[in-house]
Structure 1
Amino acid sequence: MNALNMARQAYANQAAPTRTTRGTEYEVFAKITHRLNAAARKGKLGFPELASAIHDNRKLWTLLATDVADDGNGLPDDLRARIFYLAEFTQVHSRKVLKNQASAAALIEINAAMMRGLRSGSVKP
């Protein structure tokens, strides 16, 4: 292979797109929200899938809460507080869903709101 071909190959578009942190966060929210929605639509038959999706959603929100609680987080204090509150709400509401005391609709809507904020460039929970 000559130098010109090697240069072309090195600088050619790669198959995998470069992802931003915001894009990665959006993708994680989208996958989990899709799983929550699909499992919730199945009703009682989808409970094992719903429990798994809720588990992953809770892990996501725990990570978000940890991140916004860090003093080095660059988000505005008001936004950090709202995200932390949503993380707490998600934990409490998830327990209710798992006990059949509530539906997953609130969890799905919160995630969808986060996705809208991530897509628009500003998180607006």
Structure 2
Amino acid sequence: MNAQTMAQRAYAENALSTRTDRSIEYELFARVTHRIKAAAEAGKAAYPRLVQALYDNQKLWTALAIDVADPGNKLSPELRAQIFYLAEFTQVHTGKVLARKARLAPLLEVNAAIMRGLSAGGTKR
């Protein structure tokens, strides 16, 4: 192993250890939101990719709902309730999008709002 490889590996490990829960959540939302947008923009041929991205978005929101439902969660009860509501909305609206009875935009807007909140800082969980 050469010095450059060792330095890259050491830097990568250090970068991972300094990440916060907020930055990880932001990155997850950013990735799934980007995948949803890219699949939607690619048209009908990319429908299977859109379905997979929407499924992954639902999994992310389900994980958040489970987290905020935990009595040990440190967020305020009001914020926890709002996040839980958004998780429910995401689940229902995704079904409507897949049935072609609703637009995709509200899902993207909700994710964007969450990313803004995560990037603004605030109370940690």
Same fold (TM over 0.5): yes
TM range (shorter): 0.7 to 0.9
Which residue is 1:5 aligned to?
A: none
Alpha-carbon displacement from aligned partner over 1:37-58 (angstroms, at most 9, x marks no partner): 1111123222111100000000
Change (3 A) 1:28 1:55: same
* Structure 2: distance between partners of 1:43 and 1:81: 35
Runs of 4+ in 1 over 3 A off after TM superposition: none
Which residue is 2:106 aligned to?
A: 106
| Correspondences of 1:87-98 after superposition (within 5 Å) | 87-98=87-98
Please report the RMSD computed on the Cα atoms of aligned residues, expressed in angstroms: 1.7
* Structure 1: distance between partners of 2:63 and 2:80: 13
Correspondence 1:78 to 2:78? yes
Aligned residues: 112
User: Matched residues, percent identical?
Assistant: 59
* Structure 2: distance between partners of 1:109 and 1:69: 23
Which residue is 1:41 aligned to?
A: 41
Find the residue that maps to 1:110 and give its secondary structure.
helix
Find the residue that maps to 1:30 and give its secondary structure.
helix
- TM-score of the aligned structures, taking structure 1 as reference length: 0.84
Stretches of structure 2 lacking an aligned partner (at least 5 in a row):
1-5
- TM-score of the aligned structures, taking structure 2 as reference length: 0.84
Output the amino acid matched with 1:91. Answer: Q
Which residue is 2:11 aligned to?
A: 15
Q: Which structure is higher in helix share?
A: 2
